[in-house]
Structure 1
């Protein structure tokens, strides 16, 4: 059974989320603040975290950073903050998706299902499990990236996006295909997601993110990986 940790200080919203999630056979834990969330995450090992950014004891971005210090569990942000810089801050800290309040329960559940799918073990590519470039090494079997002698920490979404690109080197992967594969069919027009996550990957992997050598944009069409 998939376990969800709901981090939210609005009792009515928590109740609605718990009822809807349990009705769909999710196990649910709830935390009203950041400290409780971090403690419960360590104790209960959730499969997905739903996190409000406006918590009474700390900013939700700090909770994301705390979780990312030891786990790659998908983090789905639920927030009334609409400014793009707020969303980018949460994504940069390690969140995997961002749902703006108020939201429809059907959309939220679809995002949750997509997050769960992204963490399931994908079949290994028929090609080599080790991809080496002059700048970094990708171990598909171990699901790890090394650069300059150190592990590069990627979120599940970043890994999924990178894996799709590197297993088809030189091939243009359309924006629509990437969006459907990583975020689901309902998000196939959210090209801003790709821009944000590709920028994050370039910051982590490229020597000069502004002039990428490996993660190439084909304007208006998609992206490709040049090994």
Structure 2
């Protein structure tokens, strides 16, 4: 009986120490969740399609934003990006029709908890559907979205306009060269080989001898293979 009485305070002390340890780990876990940092930019793309169309989003400072593109036809999440409030943000997105859904808050805690429970996370979705596509074979059509004001309990004020990238294909030709399969040479005077160039058309000159003199003879005309490059610029 005496041993049982003396062991009771020890058990109570052990229980108190265990509860303190649990409380400490829980507090540390909450601090880690609140202190999670996320780099602004693309987080994931689940469409399997290349992201080539521009989406620029302007946001007020004071809080950050978790942006999700939702496929307008299937309703599934297609792409996600993180936006630092008030900072310049632009991301390339895949082709398709999407709705834009935002979660806004201060302390990012990961995709599961967003910016925290209750009023800590403000979720809103824009009414408009945004189409990202190629127009007229040479224009990448994207959008610029401006989130102007967010007031608790009120509809978010926003605006949107098209953002277009026009692409131009440029073709260039080398200025000098030889017909395919010919060895390189340096044009010289006298009876050596040479090149005649004009308007992209090049002629190869060979040698031809007779008893009295030597003079060049034109061979068949040929074209150099053109080189192509693509230039892009914002045009709307």
Normalised to the residue count of structure 1, the TM-score between the two structures is: 0.25
Normalised to the residue count of structure 2, the TM-score between the two structures is: 0.24
State the structure with more CA Rg.
2
Report the structure, 1 or 2, having the larger strand content: 2
Report the structure, 1 or 2, having the larger helix content: 1
